[in-house]
């Protein structure tokens, strides 16, 4: 994977080679935007953004060696570069991002692959949204108390319990 400086880019996304001559647009966080904006000032349009020590695109072997060295220096358990991608998708899912947002961020053509790998993480997000958005039906003594006070048997999410 390589990315080149493009002066026409608005700075909110990074364009990377995705294989077979295709470009993929990776959305950037504010920190990512600031990082690549600073880096882009040192580059000409068409230059590699993060070249290796020889000024060329990194090879998979070089990426693996650099990752192993970083993991060892940080005293982390065995970690491969792809684990960063999985963590990115998981963080998005746990933060409540929908499948289409996660798919777009990861460069999936549609949500099928995303659903296969990240949908299980959305269960708690879905449950929390349901609790926050759906009404609660009062039962037993709380229903009787509500009826006595002229209240509905259905409590809206914005109403106190």
Q: What is the mean pLDDT of residues 53-82?
A: 92
Please tell me the distance from the alpha carbon of residue 147 to that of residue 141, in angstroms, as a whole number.
10
Q: 99-106 vs 111-118: helix axis angle to the nearest 10?
A: 110
Q: Which residue has the tokens 């996304």?
A: 13
**Any long-range contacts for 18-24 (C-beta under 8 Å, 24+ apart)?**
18/107, 24/107
- Tens of pLDDT, residue by residue over 71-92, are 999 999 999 888 998 999 999 9
Query: Which 3 state secondary structure label does DSSP give 136?
Result: strand
Please tell me the distance from the alpha carbon of residue 141 to that of residue 113, in angstroms, as a whole number.
47
Q: Is the pLDDT of residue 115 over 80?
A: yes
Q: Are 15 and 6 in contact (CB under 8 A)?
A: yes
- Tens of pLDDT, residue by residue over 13-29, are 777 777 777 888 888 88
Listing DSSP states for 72-121 in one string gives: HHTTPSS--HHHHHHHHHHHHHHTT--HHHHHHHHT-SSHHHHHHHHGGG
Q: Are 29 and 43 in contact (CB under 8 A)?
A: no
- Tens of pLDDT, residue by residue over 23-51, are 888 888 889 888 988 888 888 877 888 89
Please tell me the distance from the alpha carbon of residue 69 to that of residue 110, in angstroms, as a whole number.
35
Please tell me the distance from the alpha carbon of residue 155 to that of residue 131, in angstroms, as a whole number.
12
Mean pLDDT for the chain?
82
């Amino acid at each position: 994977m390589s990315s080149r400086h493009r002066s026409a880019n608005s700075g909110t996304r990074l364009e990377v080679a995705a294989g077979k001559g295709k470009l993929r647009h990776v959305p950037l966080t504010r920190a990512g935007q600031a990082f690549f904006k600073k880096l882009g000032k040192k580059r000409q349009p068409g230059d590699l953004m993060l070249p290796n020590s020889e000024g060329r695109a990194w090879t998979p072997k070089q990426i693996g060696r650099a990752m192993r060295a970083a993991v060892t220096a940080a005293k982390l358990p065995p970690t491969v570069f792809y684990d960063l991608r999985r963590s990115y998708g998981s963080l998005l899912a746990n933060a409540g991002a929908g499948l289409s947002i996660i798919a777009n961020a990861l460069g999936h053509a549609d949500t099928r692959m995303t659903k296969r790998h990240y949908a299980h993480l959305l269960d708690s997000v879905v449950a929390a949204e349901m609790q926050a958005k759906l009404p609660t039906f009062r039962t037993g003594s709380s229903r009787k108390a509500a009826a006595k006070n002229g209240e509905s048997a259905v409590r809206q999410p914005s109403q106190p319990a």
